[in-house]
Chains A and B, each alone.
Chain A
Amino acid sequence: MLMILNAILVLVILINLFALGTSRMKALIHAAAFQGVLLGFLPPLVVKDVGTLPLLMAVMTIVLKGIVIPNMLLKALRDAQVKREVEPLIGFMPSILLGAVATAVALALAGHLAPAHSPLGLLVIPTSISMLCTGFLLLTTRVKAVTQVIGFLLLENGIFVFGLLLLSAIPYLVELGVLLDLFVGIFVISIIIHHINRAFASQDTRRLSSLKG
């Protein structure tokens, strides 16, 4: 069990680095979808007795993060006719390096956190922190709206991974609620992307600053 878990987590970290390094948005969305599907396999691996609820959560995660949300984003992409992230605020190579540094720091620091001492926590916490960092990097350094949504998605995935440790403490209702929130959030954002594109003839979120009062 633990082996599979760790393998998945390592894959997830690799996807993070890939997401930081690619400029093609379609690839980015596919990466995020793949990551979502991988995450969906985690809850049944973590809990001791696999009931209906963890399975339900796994299915919902895979459906939402692997199929529904990526499709919405792909549609937004098609509508907006954008293919590439052209000029990030921090280049792709430095981004990958930053992501790698963040992952290393997370691995080094995770030992200081209390839950890290459980056998599960060994890799779960560093992965989660590294995902949070990746999400933030994407959010802060990319300028196209769709890329930022992916950043947000990765950030939320990080929180999801962290939540694995607390599965016994947090009711599933809350986890499912978070999923629903994410779905609604991205739903709304994809509509907003459409409007940004219409209003500014571009997806560049820097132009939003002209809305400032």
Chain B
Amino acid sequence: MNLLILIMTAIGLICSGVPGLFYHRRSATGQHVAMAINVVASAVGMAAVLFHDIPRVAAEGWHPVCSLPIGKLALSLDDMSAWFLLPIFFISALGSVYGLGYWPQRKHPVDGRKLRLFWGLMSGAMVLVVLAANSVWFLIAWEIMALSGYFLLTTEDGRPEVRQSGWVYFIATHLATLCLIVFFVMLRIYSGSFHLWPRALVGLPVGVLTALFLLGLIGFGFKAGLVPLHVWLPAGHANAPSHVSALFSGVMLNMGIYGIMRLVVMTGNPPLWWGVVLISVGMLSAFSAITWAMAQRDFKRLLAYSSIENIGIITTGLGLAVLGLSVDQPIWVALGLGGALLHTLNHSLFKPLLFMGAGGMIHSAKTRDMESLGGLAARMPAVFCVMLLGSAAIAALPPLNGFVSEMLIYLGFFQTLHGSAAATWAAWVVPALALVGAVALMTFVKLTATCFVGQPRSAAAAGAHDPAATMLWPMILLAAACVLVGAFPVLLVGLLDHAIAAWVPSHRSIPLVSIINFWWLTALALPLMICAAGIAWWIHRCRRSVPETIIGTWDCGYAAPSGRMQYTGSSLMQTMAVIFRRILWRHEQPPEVHGIFPRPADYACNTPDPLLDRVAEPVLKKVGQILESARILQSGSAQLYMVYILLILLILLMTR
């Protein structure tokens, strides 16, 4: 029953953009219809997930009458899928409401309908990805998701940089699918069926298992954006419309995580080194990505890199859980996986919030460059409030939700100190995570300080204003959810424990409730919130009692200071940029200053993606030059091409 409702909602989501296609391109009705269908379907879906007793292990299955020649279509629902379904519905619905204000049909007659069509398609396809119980079905849904993602990313395909980033995404997503196809074929060969997700593959050769793990990790890692497979992510997120970035970052990356989570338990008892690999990859992603994020000027690129960092933290938590399974430490499993799952959900709350806030800034200031903003706090107070809250949440400050999930992961890694001797080294992750957390905090201080505090650095920023209610309310809801999860994590612990139990293969999981008393977090959060609210109220009162006067800061006697002379975000981070110069690998052209009266000089620096722009692109260019010689074959004569086909056919027949 439950599953049937979810299938209906998936179909509803997939079709949500279709009615809009029949309206005139200037008509605003289509977008409202799409939004209404999306919201209703999502609400029904969320209700089906939240208010129903889902069987603890995948018991419910749905086998439709029709079948493909290669296997039956099958769907199933367990607590793990339920956990991943929640953000899909939530963000898809909120994003479609946000889109009314951010991407109205009236202002975007050319691409508005396309965007909404693929928005629904992608949301529905993600629901199906999570529900799939058969690898053929999974791959079909996966490809629908990936391709509609491509069309969403390239919404504004008139701009060359959008096409460029779409192209990179396209290649990355197909490499991922290629790995997954090989992965599923191998799985079919060795498990004997297309059934997903096997949980007790026994008697497989070590080499096969290793190949399966690596293929799956690469395939899903591309989608999740693990370093060094993240190349498509920064430019893609930066160039997409903001609510699309929110959907990508908040939900689609989760699909990669979902795949990795399912993948590691396929044998029931993963080897120790899988956990080691996951922790290393996770920490590498978290650390390098947050450092890159720190150095960005484009705030959407910054947010994109921060997504990679969060995915890294999630992967690290998952790595701990795998470690716990292999050395039989259920506490590690509960804390690691609990942290990873909760952080996945949290990331789906605060990252869309931040992207939507960023969208609000772009909407009114028309730029993604932090260095030309400033002083927005007074001009767009509502966006400022939600962005501040989102930044605090993503920097894992108590009493917000990021704190709860990262705390679980920290506690888990502290546990590795006592327990199995094989894994005491894992406690070293704690200081590394702390370093990541510190850089993340600085990054978001930079973001909020540069954009919101001080004086506007450009005319566009000076004229900025709060967006319309349709854009504001989704953000407020997300911010409220961040606070709610941070203050009352108990609300989610039941679902979380079920999800952990569904993941652990042999039913020996221990519930998180028995490890931590989550009411303590509430007891910590409430006074903090009351204090914060009190301080805010006090500042507000002080400001009202003293009349506001505008006085220039000390400007060293210079007669005409302008907003451009303030400290920029880059200058705020200069020290850090020097410390991390080996990781950042930035382009820098220092000014040449000679003599007593130097000539005018310029300083320029930018931070391209180290892997995409510094490694992948030059290498691929070289390969392209070498392959250029193969163009002799392309004579242009259709007849000759037919001969090629004939030759290949003959060769295939001969080798048979």
Contact = CB atoms under 8 A, between A and B. Distances in A.
Interface stretch (B144-152, B207-215, B223-231, B629-637): B629-637
Contact of A140 (B69, B636, B646): B646
Contacts of A52: none
- Judged by DSSP, the binding face of A is helix
B639 interface: yes
Nearest to B639: A140
Interface string A199-213: 000000110111110
B620 interface: no
Nearest to B634: A212
A139 B637 contact: no
Nearest to A139: B642
Contacts of A209: 635-637
A205 B634 contact: no
A203 B634 CA distance: 21
29 contacts: A89-B639, A136-B642, A136-B645, A136-B646, A140-B639, A140-B640, A140-B642, A140-B646, A141-B639, A142-B639, A143-B639, A148-B638, A171-B69, A173-B69, A174-B69, A205-B637, A205-B638, A206-B637, A206-B638, A208-B636, A208-B638, A209-B635, A209-B636, A209-B637, A210-B636, A211-B636, A212-B634, A212-B635, A212-B636
Nearest to A173: B69
Nearest to A205: B638
Contacts of B646: 136, 140
B388 to A, nearest CB: 52
Contacts of B637: 205-206, 208-209
Nearest to B638: A205
A74 B188 CA distance: 48
Given A140-B640, A174-B69, 8 more contacts: A140-B639, A141-B639, A205-B639, A206-B637, A208-B637, A210-B636, A211-B636, A212-B636
B643 interface: yes
Contacts of B642: 136, 139-140
Contact-residue bracket for chain A: 10 to 19
A212 B637 CA distance: 9
- Judged by DSSP, the binding face of B is helix
A136 B643 CA distance: 8
A159 to B, nearest CB: 12
Nearest to A171: B69
Contacts of A143: 639
B165 to A, nearest CB: 23
Interface string B543-577: 00000000000000000000000000000000000
Nearest to A142: B639
Interface in B598-653: 634-640, 642-643, 645-646
B382 to A, nearest CB: 52
Interface in A107-151: 136, 139-143, 148
B453 to A, nearest CB: 52
Contacts of A136: 642, 645-646
Contacts of A171: 69
A142 B642 CA distance: 11
B635 to A, nearest CB: 7
Contact of A139 (B69, B635, B636, B639): B639
Contacts of B645: 136
Contacts of A206: 637-639
A178 B636 CA distance: 28
A89 B642 CA distance: 13
A96 B69 CA distance: 40
Contacts of A140: 639-640, 642-643, 646
A179 to B, nearest CB: 16
A161 B642 CA distance: 21
A173 B634 CA distance: 36
Contacts of A142: 639
Contacts of B636: 208-212
A209 B26 CA distance: 42
A211 B645 CA distance: 20
Contacts of A148: 638
Interface string A164-190: 000000010110000000000000000
B71 to A, nearest CB: 13
B629 to A, nearest CB: 15
Interface in A70-96: 89
Interface centre among A139, A143, A148 (most CB of B within 10 A): A139
A104 to B, nearest CB: 17
Nearest to B69: A171
A208 B636 CA distance: 7
3 closest Cβ pairs, A-B complex? A209-B636, A212-B636, A139-B642
Contacts of A141: 639
B541 to A, nearest CB: 70
A143 B640 CA distance: 11
Contacts of B643: 140
A201 to B, nearest CB: 18
A114 B114 CA distance: 52
A47 B100 CA distance: 59
Contacts of A205: 637-639
A140 B647 CA distance: 12
Nearest to A143: B639
A171 B66 CA distance: 13
A208 B646 CA distance: 20
A206 B641 CA distance: 12
A209 B646 CA distance: 20
A141 B638 CA distance: 10
A209 B638 CA distance: 8
A63 to B, nearest CB: 25
Interface centre among A140, A206, A209, A211 (most CB of B within 10 A): A140
B73 to A, nearest CB: 14
A141 B643 CA distance: 10
Contacts of A174: 69
A136 B640 CA distance: 11
Nearest to B636: A209
Interface string B439-470: 00000000000000000000000000000000
A211 B637 CA distance: 10
B649 to A, nearest CB: 8
A169 B69 CA distance: 11
Contacts of A89: 639
A135 to B, nearest CB: 9
A148 B642 CA distance: 10
B381 to A, nearest CB: 54
A208 to B, nearest CB: 6
Interface centre among A141, A173, A209 (most CB of B within 10 A): A209
A11 B104 CA distance: 64
A205 B646 CA distance: 19
Interface in B470-491: none
A174 B68 CA distance: 10
Interface string A8-39: 00000000000000000000000000000000
Contacts of A210: 636
B589 to A, nearest CB: 36
A208 B637 CA distance: 7
Nearest to A148: B638
Nearest to A133: B646
Contacts of A173: 69
Nearest to A141: B639
A136 B641 CA distance: 11
A114 to B, nearest CB: 11
A148 B645 CA distance: 14
